[in-house]
Amino acid sequence: MTLRSQEKTALPALVVGAGPVGLYAAFQLGMRGVRPVIVDSLSFAGGQLAALYPEGVIEDAPGAGPVSAGALAARLEAQLAPFRPLRLYGRRATALWGGLEGGFNLETETGETITGAAVIFAGGAGAMRPKRLVAEGVAAVSADAIRYDGAVGRDARAVAVVGEGPAAIDAALAAAPGARRVTLIHALPLRANEERAARLAAAAGSGLDIFQGAVERLRAEGGRLETVEARGEAGSRAFDADLLLVEAGLEYAGRGLTGLAPVADAATGETEVPGVFAIGGGREVVGGAGYLAAGFADALRAAEAAAARLAPPAPRAHARRFEIA
């Protein structure tokens, strides 16, 4: 797709990575009249911090004080909203090519090609995706019966949830009111704060089944999921299910972004390809260190430099020369 904007530049700027640093870079682009397009392999904003540690406290976010990763992502999204960013989430960027003259092309694993006037890479050590379930029979189950985004369809009657973190518990609690039966299967001890643990205990008393063990096998008929089999210390059990929600954490989605050159300008993060910048954790991939507070500073400088690349400041008028007779 080729995207045009009505801001100061004919093309938007592309931001790869919707973590805190990427979101702040997009905000700074908007402040400078450049519409941002944000591409991320995950289906939500916040990056690895929000996905892995949504309730973890972040101490070094400028001006925010101690804040959870999830809350920080929400604040940055709200701050960015007035600039009408285009969010292309659930798409892993795979290749980058082009230049300032004709624009940069960013290819995704979905087959799209997105064109932008500049690129800011804030993708950290690489794209992440929800960890896939490894068990016998997975290949025989239709894709819509195994979900990695926590979405529960209206027709789901029996739901099994796999995972032990807050996302898995929340998915089970969300599915409980509408499903006939919900089973939470966790291989490791559950991780829940007091409030979430209390809600889970109440739901368990109302029919939500909790089983500690590992999923071994899925049974399906004509692609339709029928049974989830798990084994734990208490033995093996089979649970009826027509929908399986997998909330087992993240894994690297594959090789990194091809076409990303090393950083040439340490001050702005601009790479050896003019118009392409690497910031935050992304600088660790192409040379440099990245921390959250430093990442925000990187984002500011990169956005400022990118905007200058796209709309160079007008040259100053020469001072008039006066001669005294």
Report the pLDDT value the prediction gives residue 322, as an integer from 0 to 100. Answer: 43
Looking at residue 256, its pLDDT comes to 75
User: CA Rg, the chain, in Å?
Assistant: 24
Least confident of 1-5, 113-117, 256-260, 303-307: 1-5
233 or 284, which is more confident? 233
Contacts of 272 (CB under 8 A, 6+ apart): 261, 262, 263, 264
Does 220 or 192 have the greater pLDDT score?
Answer: 220
Return the pLDDT at 284: 54
What SS3 state is found at 174?
A: helix
Instruction: Assess whether pLDDT exceeds 90 at residue 44.
Output: no
Does this model's pTM top 0.85? My answer is: no
| Per-residue DSSP letter, 2 | B
DSSP-assigned letters across all residues of 43-58: SSSSHHHHHH-TTPEE
Please state the rounded mean pLDDT for residues 235-255: 86
Mean pLDDT, range 273-300, rounded to an integer = 76
pLDDT of residue 206: 79
Burial class (CB in 10 A: 0-12, 13-18, 19+), 315: exposed
Checking if the pLDDT of 110 tops 90, the result is: no
- Is the pLDDT score of 22 beyond 70? yes
| pLDDT of 324 above 60 | no
Q: Looking at residue 205, what is its pLDDT?
A: 75
CA-to-CA separations, 88 to 183, 259, 315, in angstroms, rounded: 32, 20, 37
Mean pLDDT, all residues of the chain: 84
Q: Indicate if the pLDDT at residue 288 is higher than 80.
A: no
Q: Look-up: residue for tokens 């800011």?
A: 120
- DSSP letter, residue 260: P
CA 119 vs CA 22, 34, 96, 274: distances in Å: 11, 12, 9, 10
Of 120-124, 136-140, 316-320, the least confident: 316-320
How confident is the model at residue 7, as a pLDDT? 46
Distance CA 158, CA 175 (A): 9
Alpha carbons 10 and 117: distance in angstroms, whole number: 8
N-term to C-term CA, the chain: 65
Q: What number is the average pLDDT over the span 39-60?
A: 78
Of 60, 86, 39, residue with least CA distance to 291: 60
Asked if the model's pLDDT at residue 325 lies above 50, the reply is no
- Average pLDDT for 155-172: 87
Least confident of 5-19, 37-51, 63-77: 5-19
Quick check: 84 pLDDT over 70?
yes
Q: At which residue do the structure tokens 């979900």 appear?
A: 147
Instruction: State mean pLDDT over 14-37.
Output: 94
Q: List 239's β-bridge partners, or say none.
A: 228
Q: Would you call 14 helix, strand, or coil by DSSP? A: strand
Residues 6+ apart with CB under 8 A from 20: 46, 47, 49, 61, 69, 72, 73, 76, 292, 295, 296
Q: Which of 27, 43, 33, 25 is nearest to 9 (CA)?
A: 33
Residue 292 confidence (pLDDT): 77
pLDDT at 314 exceeding the cut of 60:
no
